[in-house]
């Protein structure tokens, strides 16, 4: 008979759970999320024998059974609630061999829960290197559970671990710690409420029932009443438990852990940190690394991106040529294919950014980044680890928002996500280039600086200032969900493990394509619909009109461009543009700009293409200077003056600097926060900011 053993990997953050998980399951894994929270749930399969399969869950890192963060809460619920879908048959506690003392607190708590448990002492290679000698046989005897040493990086011990799992030989250990006598009567009274025999499990249930999702309001009230009746001081009980455990652990460690003095030589890491954490050189190196990452996702990624665009462009023109003339073909080519292209084109930036990020994490440098930047960033409600994503935002918000995962504090992560799209991403560049080229003379300032270049730089700076400023404001409105305590612990430097890096890249690529990708595709098809169809028979009339002008069944290039233009005007997008006009007139925009605002919701750079269509310049191969001339020559019928005067152009520039004109960013914000609330807020506040800034600029300049 086939049997599935459910196994949970738990342990302190950084102990190597994910590395072990990868080593055990390979690519046989999938990522979902725990119901109701934003925490990723990674599960994987492993065959232990021909008749037995294991389903392994990589639970979020946890320091103790007193949950302090959303992550810890998830683990807590999985372990305490027997009906939880992830509740394990067997708990594998992963401990960092170089820091057994801290890890043992949690281990002994897990043992006392009374679940079948085995201990994995991971990073055994590091412990040896640092001169620890661990007697794991004694440890196993004292804890009463199987103990196994592994090095998840090289795979040492993995075979033995699989064997241990297959044998299913995990006796239950004796309790390590018993709640004090005084609590016993309370636990007895609790039994009818939670059905648990008095013991540690019941005690932890009592102390932390607020964190449990599976019990009813009525039960919560009953438990609170019980606590009040017996005048229990929960935090005091918890403190007492912790102190007692540490005392026992100290005794235990004395008998199993030795550190040889010869290897207590100055570790390599401390030497490296002399430079990398130096008050001057530390920052210089960090700036250099930032610059390098920025360079990579800004310029190097453009090679594969151009390639992807060419391929999709080729496929598109191939489709338009060979597919029958029908709206379905159009949907396929200009809706679906274009949408797919819009998804795939992000992959190079995602892969590159995560390549660097996982290198920084793997080598241990990321912890130093927090150390260097935290003090400064906290003033703005952000985190030291916000810096890399923010700088990445100069290239593209999408991978950068994904990169905020490494920020542990929920509030600091949300704040970073919310303000990140204000950074001037590369999609704004074509819009800026077009508009600045129209409105700012190509002069030299002080005989040295190009005026257009200076204005461009000012807009880049503006994005940064707006992001920091918004964070400063928003930090007052977003409530902290859990106390973020900053644990400053510098991991030692080590070489990255390429397998882990590779897995991260695959995982991130998948998460983006399967998560955000589908929304991008849907919105892209919706936008295609809006600009390819119009109300009533307006399209048929247009068609008849142009068919009449055909020569040999074809329109001249010029007529074709006019036809495209008229179709866009008659489309739903055109209608929306006209309908929007009263609302955007105070910003100096007319309905044509309105259309572009609609279509460029796909991505900001679409603005340029839409303008080209509106000014009858046709698809891709128009001259940008011609477009500029055409736009400058356009007269606003309402005022009789040029439409794109300085006031309108600057108003438009500011609009694109601030507005959330990017469906992909909204999609990834949704995917990363798992809620519509945050993308909706992001969209509203950014559009509001853009509207105000444009209004002010236009009214002052006109
Ligand atoms: P998690 O937070 O528990 O999931 O830990 P990870 O699996 O992400 O590992 C944290 C860091 O420790 C990573 O940089 C790993 O490469 C590293 N690591 C994990 N296991 C080992 C090991 O056995 N030996 C060494 N030297 N490093 C390890
Ligand atoms: Mg992990």
- Answer whether residue 621 shows pLDDT above 80: no
The CB of 362 under 6 Å from ligand 1? The reply is yes
Buried b (16+ CB within 10 A) or exposed e, 483-521: ebeeeeeebbbbebbeebbebbbebbbebbbebbbebbb
Q: Report, as an integer, the average pLDDT of 696-700.
A: 96
32 Cα to the center of ligand 2, angstroms: 14
DSSP 364-379: THHHHHHHHHHHHHHT
pLDDT digits 0-9 by tens, 14-34: 899 998 999 998 876 766 666
d(CA 664, CA 605): 13
Confidence of residue 699 (pLDDT cuts 50, 70, 90): very high
pLDDT digits 0-9 by tens, 100-158: 888 888 999 999 998 899 999 999 988 887 778 888 888 888 888 999 999 998 889 99
d(CA 520, CA 523): 5
- Answer whether residue 477 shows pLDDT above 80: yes
Contact of 369 with 359, CB cutoff 8 Å: no
pLDDT of residue 488: 53
- Answer whether residue 352 shows pLDDT above 50: yes
Q: Report, as an integer, the average pLDDT of 184-190.
A: 88
Confidence of residue 168 (pLDDT cuts 50, 70, 90): confident
d(CA 556, CA 26): 58
Longest dimension (CA), the chain: 99
pLDDT of residue 418: 96
365 Cα to the center of ligand 1, angstroms: 14
DSSP β-bridge partners for residue 171: none
Atom of ligand 1 lying closest to residue 497 CA: 16
Our measurement of the distance from residue 468's CA atom to the centroid of its chain's CA atoms, rounded to an integer in Å, reads 19
Domain boundaries, the chain: 3-167, 184-261
19 Cα to the center of ligand 1, angstroms: 6
- Answer whether residue 514 shows pLDDT above 90: no
The percentage of the chain sitting over the pLDDT mark of 90, rounded to a whole number, equals 33
pLDDT of residue 511: 81
Pocket probe for ligand 1: among 10, 12, 15, 19, the residue whose CB has the most ligand atoms within 8 Å is 19
**Which range among 49-58, 84-93, 403-412 shows the weakest confidence by mean pLDDT?**
403-412
Read off the tokens for 320. 């338009």
SS (H, E, C) 115-179: CCEEEEEECHHHHHHCCEEECHHHHHHHHCCCEEECECCCCECHHHHHHHHHHCCCCCCCCCCCC
Read off the tokens for 680. 């909706």
Confidence of residue 378 (pLDDT cuts 50, 70, 90): confident
Buried b (16+ CB within 10 A) or exposed e, 145-174: bbbbbbbbbeeebbeebbebbeeeebeebe
Coil/strand/helix, residue 623:
coil
Q: Check residues 462 and 343 and name the one with the higher pLDDT.
A: 462
Average pLDDT, the chain: 87
Confidence of residue 464 (pLDDT cuts 50, 70, 90): very high
pLDDT of residue 32: 66
pLDDT of residue 249: 86
pLDDT of residue 482: 53
Residue range 3-167 forms a domain whose CATH class is: alpha beta
Q: Report, as an integer, the average pLDDT of 276-299.
A: 89
pLDDT digits 0-9 by tens, 196-233: 888 899 999 998 888 888 888 888 999 999 888 888 88
Contact of 87 with 228, CB cutoff 8 Å: no
pLDDT digits 0-9 by tens, 302-311: 899 999 989 9
d(CA 654, CA 697): 8
d(CA 440, CA 169): 77
pLDDT digits 0-9 by tens, 645-676: 999 999 999 999 999 999 999 999 998 888 89
DSSP β-bridge partners for residue 4: 53
Distances (CA, A) of 697 to 438, 456, 467, 536, 642: 17, 17, 19, 38, 17
How does strand 257-259 pair with strand 40-49?
unpaired
For ligand 1, atom 9: residue with the closest CA: 16
d(CA 175, CA 203): 13
- How crowded is the C-beta side of 371, counted as CA atoms within 13 Å? 18
Neighbours of ion ligand 2 (CB under 5 A): 18
pLDDT digits 0-9 by tens, 568-580: 899 999 999 999 9
DSSP β-bridge partners for residue 44: 29, 56
DSSP 464-493: HHHHHHHHHHHTTTSPPSS--------PPP
Contact of 10 with 79, CB cutoff 8 Å: yes
Read off the tokens for 592. 């044509």
Select from 397, 451, 328 the least CA-distant residue to 671: 397
Which residue carries 């119901």 as its tokens? 35
Pocket probe for ligand 1: among 14, 31, 502, the residue whose CB has the most ligand atoms within 8 Å is 14
Whether the model clears a pTM of 0.85, i.e. scores above it, the answer is no
């Amino acid at each position: 008979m086939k049997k599935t053993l459910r196994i949970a990997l738990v342990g302190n953050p950084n102990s190597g759970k994910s590395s072990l998980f990868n080593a055990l399951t390979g690519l046989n894994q999938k990522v979902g999320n725990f119901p109701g929270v934003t925490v990723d749930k990674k599960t994987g399969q492993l065959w232990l024998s021909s008749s037995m399969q294991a389903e392994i869950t990589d639970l979020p890192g946890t320091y103790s059974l007193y949950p302090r963060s959303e992550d810890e809460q998830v683990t807590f619920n999985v372990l305490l609630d027997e009906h939880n879908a992830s509740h394990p048959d067997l708990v594998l506690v992963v401990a960092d061999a170089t820091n057994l003392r801290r890890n043992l607190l949690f281990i002994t708590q897990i043992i006392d829960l009374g679940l079948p448990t085995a201990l994995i002492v991971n990073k055994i290679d590091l412990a040896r290197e640092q001169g620890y000698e661990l007697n794991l046989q004694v440890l196993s005897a004292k804890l009463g559970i199987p103990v196994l040493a592994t090095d998840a990086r090289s795979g040492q011990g993995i075979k033995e671990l699989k064997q241990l799992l297959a044998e299913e030989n995990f006796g239950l250990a004796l309790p390590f710690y018993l709640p004090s006598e005084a609590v016993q009567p309370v636990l007895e009274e609790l039994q009818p409420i939670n059905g648990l025999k008095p013991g540690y499990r019941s005690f932890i249930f009592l102390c932390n029932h607020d964190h449990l999702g599976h019990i009813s309001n009525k039960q919560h009230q009953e438990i609170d009443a019980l606590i009040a009746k017996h005048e229990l001081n929960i935090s005091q009980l918890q403190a007492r438990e912790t102190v007692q455990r540490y005392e026992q652990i100290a005794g235990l460690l004395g008998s199993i852990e030795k550190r040889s003095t010869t290897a207590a030589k100055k570790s390599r890491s401390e030497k490296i940190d002399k430079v990398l954490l130096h008050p001057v050189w530390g920052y210089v190196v960090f700036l250099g690394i930032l610059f390098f990452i920025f360079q990579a996702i800004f310029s190097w990624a453009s090679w594969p991106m151009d390639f992807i665009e060419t391929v999709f462009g080729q496929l598109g023109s191939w489709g338009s040529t060979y597919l029958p003339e029908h709206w379905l073909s159009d949907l396929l080519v200009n809706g679906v294919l274009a949408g797919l292209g819009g998804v795939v084109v992000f992959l190079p930036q995602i892969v590159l950014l995560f390549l660097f990020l996982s290198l920084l994490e793997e080598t241990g440098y990321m912890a130093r980044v927090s150390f260097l930047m935290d003090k400064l960033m906290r003033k703005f409600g952000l985190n030291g680890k916000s810096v890399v994503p923010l700088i990445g935002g100069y290239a593209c918000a999408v991978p950068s928002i994904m990169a905020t995962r490494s920020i542990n504090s929920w509030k600091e992560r949300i704040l970073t996500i919310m303000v990140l799209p204000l950074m001037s991403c590369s999609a704004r560049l074509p819009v800026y280039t077009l508009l600045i080229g129209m409105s700012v003379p190509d002069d030299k300032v002080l005989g040295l600086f190009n005026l257009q270049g200076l204005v461009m730089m000012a807009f880049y700076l503006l994005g940064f200032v707006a992001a920091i400023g918004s964070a400063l404001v928003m930090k007052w409105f977003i409530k902290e969900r859990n106390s973020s305590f900053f644990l400053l612990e510098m991991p030692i430097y080590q070489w990255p493990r390429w397998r882990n890096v590779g897995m991260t890249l695959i995982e991130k690529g998948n998460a983006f394509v399967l998560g955000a990708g589908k929304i991008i595709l849907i919105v892209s098809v919706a936008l295609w619909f809006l600009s390819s169809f119009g109300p009533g028979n307006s399209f048929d009339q247009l068609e008849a009109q142009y068919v009449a002008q055909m020569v040999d069944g074809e329109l001249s290039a010029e007529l074709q461009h006019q036809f495209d233009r008229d179709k866009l005007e008659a489309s739903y997008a055109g209608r929306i543009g006209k309908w929007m006009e009263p609302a955007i007139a105070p910003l100096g925009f007319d309905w044509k700009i309105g259309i572009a605002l609609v279509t460029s919701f796909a991505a900001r750079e679409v603005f340029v293409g839409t303008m080209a269509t509106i000014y009858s310049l046709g698809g891709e191969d128009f001259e940008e200077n011609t477009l500029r001339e055409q736009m400058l020559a356009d007269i606003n019928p309402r005022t009789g003056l040029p439409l794109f005067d300085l006031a309108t152009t600057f108003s438009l520039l500011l609009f694109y600097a601030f507005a959330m004109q990017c469906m992909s960013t909204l999609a990834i914000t949704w995917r990363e926060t798992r809620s519509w609330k945050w993308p909706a807020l992001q969209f509203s506040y950014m559009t509001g900011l853009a509207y105000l800034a444009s209004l002010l600029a236009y009214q002052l300049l006109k």
